[in-house]
Structure 1
């Protein structure tokens, strides 16, 4: 009977012991969240901030270096043209002084940009890299100082959990079967051991808490120092950059002043005042008709007769007007107009020494005409005979009288007059 009554009590006791163990474990194990972790995460971000600022100022330095190189190149480009030829430009007070000034100012500006680049690298970037190392060291200190204590606390809590569980079992055993309890299972002894362990656990927890509080205080001071250091770095850059910017501005202003200082006509007046530099504006223009050259007055170059004639066309039978010239060489040249500068090449050339001149029409005739029959010497023409017309009988006779002196044969009426033998003499006599 007693055995049957004790069995349910034993089951109840074991169940109660398990429940107490779970509660004890939940109360004593360390939390998943560690107070030091958030500090570590925060300063990891601070390390990234330092890295970003390092990249930023390295970029600033690179830009300043590239700007300096380009400005040096620009100064060299201006230097290429110097010095200017003293025979063409002023040695002082002119364009050459401006170019020298631009070159010197540009090179000085390049030096200012180079100085900014070097200062950023030597002062700003190096200081930021030092800050980054300090942040990494601070993170390491947090891990070392609080991490070791956190591990001790975790170990003590685990030990406490085990001892409290043993206490619960010993209490349950005493209540269920007191005779079976050994000395080491005495609840009093187990409780005494638990109390000592809890004192150790609390001691380690308090040490961890103090360490975290100290680390929080140190972190606040360290972060304040970080911010001040970054502010100092930026102030150094800003102050130096402002000072150099003023110097750069003054250099550009000096170049502007040099360019504006010269009068637009200073160089030209100096150049034009030199002897034999420019043509005298009072020099008269030359006239072609006043040019003399060998043979320009030779009789063979003088026209015997010239003027307007109308020549009958072959197919349309109509007359076209042209300007004709008789030369001592025995040619009758036809031009489109009297302005020989526009049409220097004849439209037609007839060799008169080998041609036959027809009789002129009488004064009472309605049209005043004469004909020319070509000889073998006249080439590059399609027709063998040409008919010419004038506006009056007087003009007709003027032309006819000149042509008869040059043609091989001429007709007065129906009787031909042969000029062979005396042609050469007649031509040579023309113009004398």
Structure 2
């Protein structure tokens, strides 16, 4: 018999598409399925897993940016607190601030400007933190959620299609294995009868049926994956655009903050530079005009200065002038000094009459009531006084030993005048001395009431005059050495013999 053809044509096997080359991204990609094998060796979840891994990469990228913005916001908050510390350094009023002008345009106004601009920087960083947390960070957080949602959708949809493909492949694989068993059994049976369900022909057609369903599931899953791949390009564009918008907001906030801070610092500098160099000084000397020294006022002059009791009568000398004193050593002889007898009844010796070059401290001081006129030489115009030097300039004056001092006047009249004043200062209290009169007062008798009021003092020099003769009135003196004489003659009071003189003198 001739070979008979099958009354039913073999159905067309499902055709798996040949290798695809897509241009959606401009790159050539090979399809994961092969046309040569009924059961491909590749995993149906391979593409899905790759796309899921890419979504995780985008998610982590977004998380990095969230952390960046979040930490930047924390830094902004920290900078705000740091600038609060900066503000505290100038928040207190200036010490001795009353020395600066309180008007606009001065140092005090400059520090007010520093405080205002520093407070502005505090507000600037506070606003920066708020803007980052309310504008930039929510945008990135929303994008992060979108990526998670996309990943979840891909994982759910792809797993469903992948499960259907795996199920179809398992059934096909089972029947392919069954076909191998039946064909081997038929060859070994040598014409023995087989069950209908084990007929290799039937098994082959069952494989074609199941392979067709497998290919349909594979192609459906493939179309889903292609749709996801094509959507990925748009989704990634959305991710990048969202990130760019968020970073643009970040840059706008930060650059604006930087510009505003720069303006504040520039304003601080401009405020300081606008202060004229002489502004504070002019205001200072205007406020303290009564305290500062007037440069146009003339300098002080000693001649114009007055002080209490400057012209009191006790400050005026009874007599003053130049005398010579014999040195205590025989080699030097007589030396000129300036002498003065005061109302305090002291005979003071000075090197000169200059009160400006050195402190006018007496070189020699004799208290006349405690001193004695030892001798008088009218020819040589000398007189000797024995007394104690009570000045503070002589070493050993703590003991104040009695010493004889020989003085020499320029003329006989000068010697008489000095002697009269010395005797009057030694006899009478200060109250009886009249320095303003230029003539002697009339002499009264001892029986008169005026004479009885004079206190009794031991005479400084023994006199030969009778007891009925009244004492000599004090001479009139001025600040300079005078030649005024008294009514009585000093020479007449000097005894002719030194022995009588010594007997009459009482210390």
**Alignment TM-score, normalising by the size of structure 2:** 0.52
Quote the Cα distance in structure 2 between the aligned partners of 1:170 and 1:199. Answer: 21
Rg comparison, structure with higher value: 2
Quote the Cα distance in structure 2 between the aligned partners of 1:172 and 1:289. Answer: 152
Give the helix-richer structure, 1 or 2.
1
Residue of structure 2 in register with 1:173 after alignment: 185
Residue of structure 2 in register with 1:46 after alignment: 58
1:174/1:28 CA distance change after superposition, 3 Å: farther
1:294-325: CA deviation from partner (whole Å, max 9, x where unpaired): 99999xx9xxxxxxxxxxxxxxxxxxxxxxxx
Residue of structure 2 in register with 1:248 after alignment: 261
Q: State the secondary structure of the residue aligned to 1:253.
A: helix
Quote the Cα distance in structure 2 between the aligned partners of 1:71 and 1:228. Answer: 35
Quote the Cα distance in structure 1 between the aligned partners of 2:133 and 2:287. Answer: 55
Q: State the secondary structure of the residue aligned to 2:287.
A: coil
Q: Displacement, 1:142?
A: 1.2
Quote the Cα distance in structure 2 between the aligned partners of 1:217 and 1:45. Answer: 18
Q: Displacement, 1:227?
A: 0.7
Quote the Cα distance in structure 2 between the aligned partners of 1:296 and 1:32. Answer: 126
Q: Residues 19-418 of structure 1: matches in 2 within 5 Å?
A: 27-28=39-40, 30-31=42-43, 34-75=46-87, 77-81=89-93, 89-178=101-190, 179=192, 181-274=194-287, 276=289, 278-279=291-292, 280-281=294-295
Q: Is the 8 A contact 2:168 2:213 kept in 1?
A: yes
Quote the Cα distance in structure 1 between the aligned partners of 2:138 and 2:248. Answer: 15
1:154-192: CA deviation from partner (whole Å, max 9, x where unpaired): 222222222111110011001001526323222122112
1:118/1:88 CA distance change after superposition, 3 Å: closer
Q: Displacement, 1:215?
A: 0.7
Q: Is the 8 A contact 2:52 2:154 kept in 1?
A: yes
1:24-72: CA deviation from partner (whole Å, max 9, x where unpaired): 9994555386111111111111111101111111122222233333334
1:51/1:243 CA distance change after superposition, 3 Å: same
**Alignment TM-score, normalising by the size of structure 1:** 0.60
Quote the Cα distance in structure 2 between the aligned partners of 1:199 and 1:26. Answer: 10
1:35/1:261 CA distance change after superposition, 3 Å: same
Q: Is the 8 A contact 1:28 1:160 kept in 2?
A: no
Quote the Cα distance in structure 1 between the aligned partners of 2:40 and 2:396. Answer: 132
Quote the Cα distance in structure 2 between the aligned partners of 1:180 and 1:295. Answer: 165
Aligned length in residues: 375
Q: Which moved more, 1:65-74 or 1:142-151?
A: 65-74
1:208/1:277 CA distance change after superposition, 3 Å: farther
Quote the Cα distance in structure 1 between the aligned partners of 2:277 and 2:58. Answer: 60
Q: Displacement, 1:128?
A: 0.2
Residue of structure 2 in register with 1:357 after alignment: none
Q: Is the 8 A contact 1:29 1:157 kept in 2?
A: no
Q: State the secondary structure of the residue aligned to 1:273.
A: helix
Q: Displacement, 1:216?
A: 0.5
Residue of structure 1 in register with 2:329 after alignment: none
1:181-206: CA deviation from partner (whole Å, max 9, x where unpaired): 32322212211221111112111111
1:93/1:29 CA distance change after superposition, 3 Å: closer
Unaligned runs of 5+ in 1: 1-23, 302-327, 329-343, 345-377, 382-420, 424-432
Quote the Cα distance in structure 2 between the aligned partners of 1:181 and 1:158. Answer: 25
Q: State the secondary structure of the residue aligned to 1:278.
A: coil
Q: State the secondary structure of the residue aligned to 2:151.
A: helix
Q: Displacement, 1:126?
A: 0.3
Quote the Cα distance in structure 1 between the aligned partners of 2:229 and 2:459. Answer: 139
1:25/1:162 CA distance change after superposition, 3 Å: farther
Q: Displacement, 1:246?
A: 3.5
Residue of structure 2 in register with 1:403 after alignment: none
Q: State the secondary structure of the residue aligned to 1:262.
A: coil
What's the RMSD between the two structures over aligned residues? Answer: 6.2
Quote the Cα distance in structure 2 between the aligned partners of 1:422 and 1:164. Answer: 171
Q: State the secondary structure of the residue aligned to 1:78.
A: helix
Kindly indicate whether structure 1 or structure 2 has the higher relative contact order, using CA contacts under 8 Å at least 6 residues apart. Answer: 1
Quote the Cα distance in structure 2 between the aligned partners of 1:422 and 1:55. Answer: 117
Q: Is the 8 A contact 2:44 2:162 kept in 1?
A: no
